[in-house]
């Protein structure tokens, strides 16, 4: 069972307290009516599904209830970092250099 750091609670807690919520940094378009069918399809369904580092959303559903973002390696399942919703994706090279 993973341990996940909630950036709001600032605590590292068991996976049981959290729920996965899909890929991060896919903002809902401000005016969907302006999107072509193809653009809207991409927003709805097309995901990066990388082997390796993945920016994704989690919710501390059985805790503070807040959504946040995480960088996780999909091969090792290791979390590199978690950060509040709305913050930009952190620079990975800096994170790895700090290790």
Partner 1 sequence: MNPFRIKGRGRVNQDRPVRFTFDGKTFVGFEGDTVASALLANGEHLMGRGFKYHRPRGVVTAGSEEPNALIGTTRGPGRFEPNTRATMQEIYDELSTESQNKWPTLKFDVGAINDRLYMLFSAGFYYKTFMWPKSFWDKVYEPFIRRAAGLGRAPTELDPDHYASRYLHCDVLIVGSGPSGLAAALTAARSGASVVVVDEQSEMGGALLSEPSVDIDGDNAWGWLATTLDELASLPNVRLMSRTTAIGYYHQNMVGLCQKLTDHLSDVPVDAPRERLWRVRAGQVILAQGAIERPMVFDGNDRPGVMMAGAAQTFLHRFGVKVGDRPLILTSHDSAWHTAFDLADAGCKVAAIVDTRTDIPPALMHAAMARNIETLTGHTATATSGRLRVKSIRVNPVRGGAVGAARTIPCDAVLMCGGWTPSLHLFSHTKGSLDWDAKAKAYLPGHKTEAVHIAGAGRGLWGIAAVLEDGAKAGADALRDLGRKAGAATYAVTGDRTGAGITQKELPTDRSPGSAKAFVDFQNDVTAKDIRLAVREGMRSIEHVKRYTTNGMATDQGKLSNMNGLTIASDALGKDIPQVGLTTFRPPYTPTTFGALAGYHKGSHFEVTRKTPIDSWATEHDAAFEPVALWRRAWYFPKAGEDMHAAVNRECKATRQSLGMFDASTLGKIEVSGPDAVEFMNRMYTNPWTKLGVGRCRYGLLLGEDGFIRDDGVIGRMRDDLFHVTTTTGGAARVLNMMEDYLQTEWPDLQVWLTSTTEEWATIAINGPNARKLLAPLVEGQDMSDEAFPHMSVAECKVAGFSSRLFRISFTGELGYEVNVPARHGRALWEKLMEAGKPYDICPYGTETMHVLRAEKGYIIIGQDTDGTVTPEDAGIGWAIGKAKPDFVGKRSLSRPDIVAKGRKQLIGLLTDNPKDVLIEGAQIVLDPKQPKPMKMIGHVTSSYWSEALGRSIAMAVVEGGFDRMGDTLHIPTADGGSQAAKVTGCVFYDPAGDRLKVE
- Chain residues binding Zn ion by CB under 5 A are 6, 8-9, 60, 63-64
Shortest reach from residue 12's CB to Zn ion, in Å? 11
CA gap 76, 62 in Å, rounded: 25
Contact status: 35 vs partner 1 (CB under 8 A): yes
Q: What count of other Cβ atoms lies within 10 Å of the Cβ of residue 52? A: 9
CA gap 73, 50 in Å, rounded: 9
How far CA 13 is from CA of 46, 47, 52, 83, in Å, comes to 31, 28, 23, 15
Contact status: 76 vs partner 1 (CB under 8 A): yes
Q: Which does 76 bind (CB under 5 to 8 A by kind): Zn ion, partner 1, none?
A: partner 1
**Quick one: which segment of 28-36, 46-54, 90-98 binds partner 1 (CB under 8 A)?**
28-36
Shortest reach from residue 40's CB to partner 1, in Å? 5
């Amino acid at each position: 069972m993973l341990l996940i750091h909630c950036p709001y609670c600032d605590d590292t807690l068991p996976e049981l307290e959290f729920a996965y919520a899909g890929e991060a940094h896919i903002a809902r378009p401000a005016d969907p009516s302006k999107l072509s069918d193809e653009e809207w399809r991409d927003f709805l369904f097309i995901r990066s599904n990388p082997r390796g580092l993945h920016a994704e959303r989690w919710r501390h559903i059985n805790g503070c209830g807040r959504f946040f973002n995480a960088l996780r390696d999909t091969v090792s399942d290791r979390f590199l970092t978690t950060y509040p919703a709305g913050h930009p994706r952190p620079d990975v090279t800096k994170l790895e250099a700090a290790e």
